[in-house]
């Protein structure tokens, strides 16, 4: 018996999905509203980053990759998840078995977003720590080569544990406990936080040593501080989600921790544009 049959138990109903369609309707509507706010802004940013002015700079290539991952996740976690919650569809329904495959792509998209943001944070940190290594690892077309480890990481993550979307809960959960998924969320918090702390320290030293008068240095500092601000908000969102997830189960916030995390993430990517 395959995993799909175990989750559906021979019926057309996903066993893990609680019988609360009203909650699914509320959550789904909220997801769609937030995604429709964030997706146009993300697409506009992608168009701007596609111009010749930004194509030459390694950092903007990485921002383009991260923004594209944003678009994919806003579509998956917001628009499509919202529609699934409102319409109550699952892969247990007739002729919708392909949704199970889609849900693994959804999970892979989340892993890709996490690793792309970690690489961007590493790039921003390295540009202030070692110009030599920054050039060696990211200059020119080398920035695009980082797509290979990003895609590899995401693929490995998917095969380390499959996931299913619960329409009435509005969350994507592991069908079995996944150490990779948990470690991925912690790793994103840790890597992004460490890289940005080091970057801020180096910027502080640079400002103390001299006043940056050239436009390039000022622009580089401004861009790095902007990415730091988004990273800080992202880490606050992640910490809120992980904290709520491990609160006592009888607390009402525990029941909505995953939805809270997803809503905060969607809000962040609506406002951060």
d(CA 39, CA 204): 35
* Gyration radius from the chain CA atoms: 20
d(CA 214, CA 237): 35
- Domains of the chain plus CATH, in order, are 3-271 (1.20.1070.10)
pLDDT tens digits for 71-104? Answer: 999 999 999 999 999 999 888 887 788 888 999 9
pLDDT tens digits for 32-80? Answer: 999 999 899 899 989 988 887 777 888 889 999 999 999 999 999 999 9
User: pTM here?
Assistant: 0.86
Tokens encoding 116: 């792309």
> Has residue 259 got a pLDDT over 70?
yes
> What pLDDT is recorded for position 208?
73
> Has residue 192 got a pLDDT over 50?
yes
d(CA 14, CA 6): 9
């Amino acid at each position: 018996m395959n995993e799909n049959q175990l989750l559906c138990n021979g019926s057309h109903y996903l066993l893990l999905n609680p019988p609360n369609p009203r909650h699914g309707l509320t959550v789904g509507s909220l997801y769609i509203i937030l995604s429709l706010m964030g997706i146009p802004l993300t697409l506009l940013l992608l168009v701007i980053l596609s111009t010749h002015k930004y194509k030459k700079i390694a950092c903007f290539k990485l921002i383009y990759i991260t923004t594209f991952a944003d678009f994919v996740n806003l579509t998956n976690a917001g628009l499509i998840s919202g529609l699934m919650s409102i319409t109550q569809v699952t892969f247990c329904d007739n002729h919708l078995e392909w949704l199970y495959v889609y849900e693994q792509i959804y999970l892979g998209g989340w892993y890709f977003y996490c690793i792309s943001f970690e690489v961007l944070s590493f790039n921003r940190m390295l540009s202030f720590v070692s110009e030599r290594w920054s050039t060696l690892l990211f200059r020119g077309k080398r920035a695009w080569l980082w797509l290979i480890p990003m895609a590899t990481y995401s693929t490995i993550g998917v095969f380390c544990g499959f996931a299913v979307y619960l329409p009435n809960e509005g969350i994507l959960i592991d069908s079995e406990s996944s150490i990779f998924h948990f470690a991925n969320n912690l790793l994103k918090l840790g890597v992004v936080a460490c890289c940005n702390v080091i970057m801020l320290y180096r910027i502080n030293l640079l400002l103390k040593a001299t006043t940056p008068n050239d436009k390039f240095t000022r622009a580089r500092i401004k861009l790095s501080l902007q990415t730091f601000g988004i990273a800080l908000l992202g880490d606050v969102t992640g910490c809120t989600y992980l904290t709520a997830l491990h609160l006592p189960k009888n607390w009402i916030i525990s029941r909505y921790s995953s939805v809270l995390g997803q809503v905060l993430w969607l809000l962040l990517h609506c406002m951060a544009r």
